Amino acid sequence: MKNGSVKIIGSAMVFFLLTGFSFAQQNTTGSGSENQNQTQAGGQTATQEQNQAGEQTATQEQNRARNQYADQEQNTLRSQNRVNQQNRERFRASLTPEQIEILENGEMTQYQKRNALNVSLTEQQRNMLRENMEMRKQQRNEFRYAACDEQQQQMRQTQESTQTRTGTQGRGGR
């Protein structure tokens, strides 16, 4: 029995020693591959960070360009509004007291006022109104064509919803 237990203990010790050596070798080899994996992961992380930084920069540049374009649009709209305001003031200044009385008449409907005013307009006033209308139409067209695809789509949707709501095509139901 003593020989059997010595053999078993000896075999177990050899087994533990061999297992220990092989485990130590795997750790050494494993840590080398871990270093490689960490290096590869570090390289991938660095590449991902560079890609993210590049995407952020591109996004920032796009946002700057959009903001600059929006600022230009706003400046254009402001100048157009100033011109339109000046034209309205010029037209109002050309009205006679009788024409002003027609506009201020509270008993007439908007339609009646418009008809009465149109009858009383001079040729110069009609030309002024026609020029103002043509200029506003040109401004609208310039704005439409200068708008990006997304803005044009929004304008179409707004126009369609307005037409659906009012049940008309184009201007009011006259």
Q: How confident is the model at residue 15 (pLDDT cuts 50, 70, 90)?
A: low
In the structure, what pLDDT confidence band is assigned to residue 156 with cuts at 50, 70 and 90?
confident
Q: What angle in degrees, to the nearest 10, is found between the helix axes of 97-104 and 110-120? A: 170
Per-residue pLDDT, averaged over 142-146, amounts to: 78
Structural domain includes residue 6: no
Segment (H or E) for 1: none
Report whether 110 contacts 102 (CB < 8 A): no
Q: What is the DSSP letter of 52?
A: H
Is 18 domain-assigned? no
Domain count, the chain: 1
Residue 112: inside a domain: yes
Kindly tell me the number of DSSP H helices and DSSP E strands found in the chain. Answer: 5, 0
The answer to the question of residue 38 being in a domain is: no
Distance in angstroms (rounded) separating the CA atoms of residues 118 and 123: 10
Distance CA 95, CA 120 (A): 10
Position 118 scores a pLDDT of: 93
Query: How far is Cα 11 from Cα 14, in angstroms, rounded to an integer?
Result: 5
The whole-model pTM stands at: 0.47
Question: What is the C-alpha to C-alpha distance for residues 65 and 59, in angstroms, rounded to an integer?
Answer: 10
**Structure confidence at residue 167 as a pLDDT band (50, 70, 90):** confident
**Within a domain: 26:** no
Is residue 102 assigned to a domain? yes
Which residue segment(s) compose the domain that 110 sits in? 58-144
- 62 or 92, greater pLDDT: 92
Task: Answer with the residue of higher pLDDT: 109 or 71.
Answer: 109
Is 104 among the domain residues?
Answer: yes
Q: Is residue 47 part of a domain?
A: no
Q: Using 50, 70 and 90 to split pLDDT, how confident is the model at 75?
A: confident
Helical H runs in 95-148?
Answer: 97-104, 110-120, 123-146
Torsion of CA 76, 80, 146, 148, to 10 degrees: 70
| Mean pLDDT, rounded, of the chain | 76
pLDDT for the residue 173 = 47
